[in-house]
Amino acid sequence: MSKIRPSWPLGGVGLVAIAVALLAAPAQLEGPVLVPISPGHALSVLDSVALIPLLTGLAWLYWGIWARRSRLYDSMRTSPGKGSLTVFAAGLGVGLLLASAFSTFWWWWAIGATLFLAMTMAAVVAAVQGE
């Protein structure tokens, strides 16, 4: 009997979705704070548990993107403007995520997370094309 393995990118996206659901749980379910980061931000027990599927899913996605990087290079060559904008937006998203954790502009995390997620999904779509 063969083992059923989720295909890339669905396995990675599924794990990230599970992690986001855990991270979005109400504060009453999060448990005690393990690591305070800044006012309004801390790493709780549930957040620590959610890191496992989050990091595993992202590693799976990025491994798949890396394995298909020649397709991404082709996409960048055919449309350098869109490719440059995608890379810029992903970097801006990560910057906003980091800045929101260490500043009083805590609501910027939503914009940063949305930008970074959208650009990661654009890279996944570009890497999948042609399979």
More confident residue, 108 or 124: 124
Q: Is the pLDDT at 1 greater than 60, yes or no?
A: no
Q: Is the pLDDT at 11 greater than 70, yes or no?
A: yes
- Quote the percentage of the chain above a pLDDT of 90: 49
> Of the given ranges (14-28, 33-47, 55-69, 80-94), which has the lowest mean pLDDT?
33-47
User: Do residues 84 and 38 share a domain?
Assistant: no
Looking at 67, 93, 116, the residue that finishes a domain is 67
Range of the domain at 73: 69-131
User: In the structure encoding, which two tokens stand for residue 78, read together?
Assistant: 């055919």
User: Do residues 44 and 7 share a domain?
Assistant: yes
